[in-house]
Homo-oligomer: A and B are copies of this chain.
Amino acid sequence: MERELLLLGLLRQARMYGYQLHEFIERDLATCTDLKKPTAYFLLEKMARRGWISQAEERDGNRPPRRVYQITAEGEQQFQRLLRDNLGGYSMTRFAGDVGLAFADALPPHEVLVLLHQRHTALLADLAAARAVPQHEGSIQLVVEHRIVHLEAELHWLDDVMARIAAAARKSAQSNTNVERSDPYD
Q: Which residues of A contact B (CB under 8 A)?
A: 2-3, 5-6, 9, 12, 29, 32-34, 79-80, 83-107, 111-112, 114-116, 118-119, 122-123, 126, 138-140, 142-143, 145-147, 149-150, 153-154, 157, 161
> A102–B161 contact, CB under 8 A?
no
Given contacts A33-B98, A91-B97, A94-B34, contact A103 B5 (CB under 8 A): yes
Residues of B within 8 A of A154 (CB): 150
**Smallest CB gap from A111: residue in B:** B84
Question: How far apart are A138's CB and chain B's nearest CB, in angstroms?
Answer: 5
Are B33's CB and A93's CB within 8 A?
no
Q: Output the nearest chain B residue to A95 by Cβ-Cβ distance.
A: B93
Closest to A8 in B: B103
Give chain B residues whose Cβ lies under 8 Å from the Cβ of A29: 102
What are 13 pairs between A and B in contact, CB < 8 Å?
A5-B100, A6-B99, A9-B99, A9-B106, A32-B98, A32-B99, A33-B98, A86-B99, A87-B115, A88-B116, A89-B118, A92-B126, A95-B150
Question: Which listed residue, B103, B138, B157, touches A149 by the CB 8 Å rule?
Answer: B157
**Nearest 10 A-B pairs (CB), nearest first?**
A86-B100, A87-B115, A90-B122, A88-B115, A153-B153, A88-B118, A9-B103, A32-B98, A2-B99, A87-B100
